[in-house]
């Protein structure tokens, strides 16, 4: 065999080997990969996302309060709107912040408490957020939300407990929410 033919044959063999490596890599990239287990915070966030829709709760005065949940910001946050369209309208945004699940409540008291999910909970049953900090607080004794808890009864019933702190005293307010169909 002459040297030119031998060189062409070697070049073709190298090309075939590289093509096989490339094809094998492409196939490997398409195969399912074992992903790390989803964090408790991510599962909790998914539980809040699943609340999507409108909910109603009967108030102590007999009136009906409306709460809605919807994803926003490309699915990176969930907006809970309490009393939409009323003078007491209050949004709360839930979002992941690294390994933490956060809640920022924009209160009718004109401050913005931030809460963080307490660790070690079963997202299918209960989620409790505890106070982290607050912006726009007039004084340390001024009223602000200090906690919120979700108690999942079933897919159409939710018990939500908000805790309001003022002058060192905490007052819980419980809402028995029913999904509006």
| Helix or strand (DSSP H, E) at 41 | helix 40-49
**Which candidate, 111, 107, 82, 77, places its Cα nearest to that of 94?**
77
pTM of the model: 0.78
pLDDT of 38: 86
pLDDT of 24: 54
Alpha-carbon gap, residue 92 to 130, rounded angstroms? 14
CB 68 within 8 A of CB 53: yes
pLDDT higher than threshold 50 for residue 35: no
Q: Which residues pair with 171 in a beta bridge?
A: 164
The residue whose two tokens read 């209050």 is 90
pLDDT of 33: 44
Average pLDDT, the chain: 87
Q: What is the largest CA-CA distance in the chain?
A: 100
pLDDT higher than threshold 60 for residue 18: no
**pLDDT band at residue 121 using 50, 70 and 90 as cut-offs:** confident
Range 17-29 average pLDDT: 53
Measure Cα distances from 44 to 66, 96, 98, 121 in Å: 23, 10, 14, 9
pLDDT higher than threshold 90 for residue 128: yes
Number of other CB atoms surrounding residue 41 within 10 Å: 21
């Amino acid at each position: 065999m002459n040297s030119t033919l031998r060189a062409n044959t070697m070049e073709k063999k190298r090309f075939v080997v590289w093509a096989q490596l490339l094809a094998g890599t492409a196939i490997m990239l398409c195969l399912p990969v074992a992903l790390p287990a989803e964090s408790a915070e991510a599962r909790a966030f998914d539980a809040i996302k699943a609340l999507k829709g409108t909910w109603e709760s009967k108030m102590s005065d007999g009136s009906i309060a409306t709460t809605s949940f919807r994803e926003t910001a490309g699915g990176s946050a969930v907006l809970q709107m309490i009393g939409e369209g009323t003078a007491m309208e209050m949004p709360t945004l839930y979002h992941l912040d690294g390994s933490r699940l956060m809640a920022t409540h924009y209160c009718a008291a004109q401050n913005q408490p931030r809460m963080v999910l307490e660790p070690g909970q079963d997202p299918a049953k209960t989620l409790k957020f505890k106070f982290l900090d607050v912006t726009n607080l007039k004084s340390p004794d001024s009223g602000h939300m200090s906690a919120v808890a979700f108690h999942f009864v079933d897919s159409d019933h939710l018990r939500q407990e908000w805790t309001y702190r003022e002058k060192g005293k905490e007052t819980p307010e419980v809402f028995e929410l029913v999904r509006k169909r």
